[in-house]
Structure 1
């Protein structure tokens, strides 16, 4: 059988450093578990601009459309702040999301027990937290037309349009319900149906999809502002949250801080199934390129490693191996391994990016 294909786009800043540790994990799975991948690499973001004058070439875009999954590190940096908007590193990332039609963004918020005291909330509120926010990624107010800044009389007016079609809502709702069936079978849909017509349609379509196809899944609704409050009050009441692009952006960042560090948070962006049944997919850590620590061996590779775990689970149907990798990370944290971002008020001596990779590989070795 042909090995599944991965395209690695390490990107900028700490992207290459954390992705190097993922490459070691990928090699471990081939050597120790017989799980091999056809891995290729290319450029995105500032690295692509430096080499080609654009943040993503057409050739790289074509590769991304052909592979089974894309692994992305991070894009951006101060060297590119003065570029034209169309050439900024982030445009490469947005092009990937848009042209691959990655409409469902999966943002897990999981609090490992060893890090429960790092959260801004009390230990009993966050210990054992494991929720998933499913954010619609390719429509809504970030893409709606008309948009822009116009002048009426003596005033400037900024315009953005919140726009959703029935089919756009339906497909992300199905993604959330399918995901819930693999977890605790519970979905909370969040919108602002009390003040927004798009929210009214959102709730109607989610209810229709639930009644027709997913009546076995428990469904609840919550206004997004109330949802933000409940995430801070008692987040463990939730399993899967599905919401639109704008609210998903806000709620997922709020949920991220419940876990203690952005260096721990992976994500997946999924699209429609390809001919082989696998979804179009891109996996990336939530953290940015962190140019202030790039090249210093300080970056935490765990978010990128856990992004590969999500690829194992959602693209390659290797749930047991994904759990193996997640358990290895949990074991390493329980043993006290800490990169600089994971040091508490008591301080301590941090380990390097590669040493954290060493520790994860050792834990994987111990698991077989």
Structure 2
């Protein structure tokens, strides 16, 4: 990737704890810019519930314009009970689905890595999770989330709902090639997850996986049914390296994989388009129950910045430095409430952010 000297990041704080955690992540971006001498401009936009309240839509056109001229997007979180009773097109999640489609963000990468100092934070036995290092690749713009939806009254007077699950061969091939390329750079093992014993879409998925796999003879391809994968993620998670699956299955399995590491508040993600453009966000949601209390864990958002620096901006050294700063803080025993054994010693959002910045200040650029 050709490195530039000036980048623009679209920042969408969103709802709930989004503004709090994003604020700490932006401080990291600013420090990286100062350390590297690269100019990183930040433009803010609204998405989700705050956009519904302010603009009357979960995805304003102005927000799309900001994101389309950016090199990458940093997103906080969307949603909350305030908007739960809204019709589908006026729910915060509609903004999230809309921006994925509009920006062509078809590949969602969600790594789940168990850092040594957090082994005891997992609800599973240490021997089961120690050394876990896997990544779930989720197809993001197809499947049941984007299929036609209907609600109607049947002849007997009962209400009926329909959601169409549809996949085109090209959509499947595209996400599989991303996954094979990723597996080739890791342990050369890829598990494709489907429900081919029941769903026709999964039978097509498996057929395409076999065809594409022929182009990657150095990568071991295996297939697993989604219910079996869910069980195996809990029983023996270290058997997995790269998992690829369709939209709904990926949504569920990636959250399950996140909890292997002890807290969903620790997991970053990247949603990638063709080329280097991507949207980066923490895996966790808006957590409205703790919004405004200053106790949210900002580390997943900061680690998402690390992914952004590496995958969209080509600043690998800076990405390494950000990740090292986070792990150094954790190795020193500092914890937010979601991962603290002693809740009385838990740090707040800003306090944790300051510790990461202090570690990052030690980074000596080449």
The whole-number CA distance in structure 2 between the counterparts of 1:318 and 1:187 is 27
**SS across alignment from 1:348:** helix
Task: Assess if the C-alpha contact under 8 Å between 2:9 and 2:43 holds in 1.
Answer: yes
**1:303 counterpart (300, 303, 312):** 300
**1:363 counterpart (354, 359, 365):** 359
Which residue is 2:230 aligned to? Answer: 228
**1:292 counterpart (286, 289, 293):** 289
Deviation at 1:339, TM superposition (A): 1.1
Deviation at 1:132, TM superposition (A): 0.5
Which residue is 1:176 aligned to? Answer: 179
Which residue is 1:108 aligned to? Answer: 111
Q: Which runs of structure 2 are paired with 1:144-159 in the superposition (5 Å)?
A: 144-145=147-148, 147-159=150-162
When normalised by structure 1's length, the TM-score is 0.93
**1:256 counterpart (255, 258, 263):** 258
The whole-number CA distance in structure 1 between the counterparts of 2:202 and 2:286 is 34
Once the two structures are overlaid, the 10-residue window that deviates more, 335-344 or 358-367, is 358-367
**Pair 1:341 & 2:338 matched:** yes
The whole-number CA distance in structure 2 between the counterparts of 1:320 and 1:218 is 31
**Pair 1:164 & 2:167 matched:** yes
Q: How many residues align?
A: 361
The whole-number CA distance in structure 2 between the counterparts of 1:52 and 1:59 is 10
Deviation at 1:147, TM superposition (A): 4.3
Deviation at 1:366, TM superposition (A): 2.8
The whole-number CA distance in structure 1 between the counterparts of 2:85 and 2:214 is 51
Task: Assess if the C-alpha contact under 8 Å between 1:148 and 1:160 holds in 2.
Answer: no
**1:282 counterpart (279, 282, 294):** 279
**Pair 1:89 & 2:86 matched:** no
Deviation at 1:138, TM superposition (A): 1.2
Deviation at 1:33, TM superposition (A): 2.4
**2:142 counterpart (139, 143, 161):** 139
Once the two structures are overlaid, the 10-residue window that deviates more, 79-88 or 43-52, is 79-88
**1:320 counterpart (289, 305, 317):** 317
**Pair 1:30 & 2:26 matched:** no
**SS across alignment from 2:39:** coil
Task: Assess if the C-alpha contact under 8 Å between 2:108 and 2:272 holds in 1.
Answer: yes
Q: What's the C-alpha RMSD, in Å, of the aligned pairs?
A: 1.8
Deviation at 1:77, TM superposition (A): 2.5
**1:332 counterpart (329, 336, 348):** 329
Any stretches of 5+ residues in structure 1 without a counterpart? none
Deviation at 1:22, TM superposition (A): 0.8
Deviation at 1:154, TM superposition (A): 4.8
Q: Which runs of structure 2 are paired with 1:171-210 in the superposition (5 Å)?
A: 171-210=174-213
Deviation at 1:140, TM superposition (A): 1.1
Which residue is 1:353 aligned to? Answer: 349
**Pair 1:5 & 2:8 matched:** yes
Once the two structures are overlaid, the 10-residue window that deviates more, 155-164 or 188-197, is 155-164
When normalised by structure 2's length, the TM-score is 0.93
Deviation at 1:91, TM superposition (A): 1.9
Once the two structures are overlaid, the 10-residue window that deviates more, 65-74 or 49-58, is 49-58
**SS across alignment from 1:204:** helix
The whole-number CA distance in structure 1 between the counterparts of 2:335 and 2:22 is 18
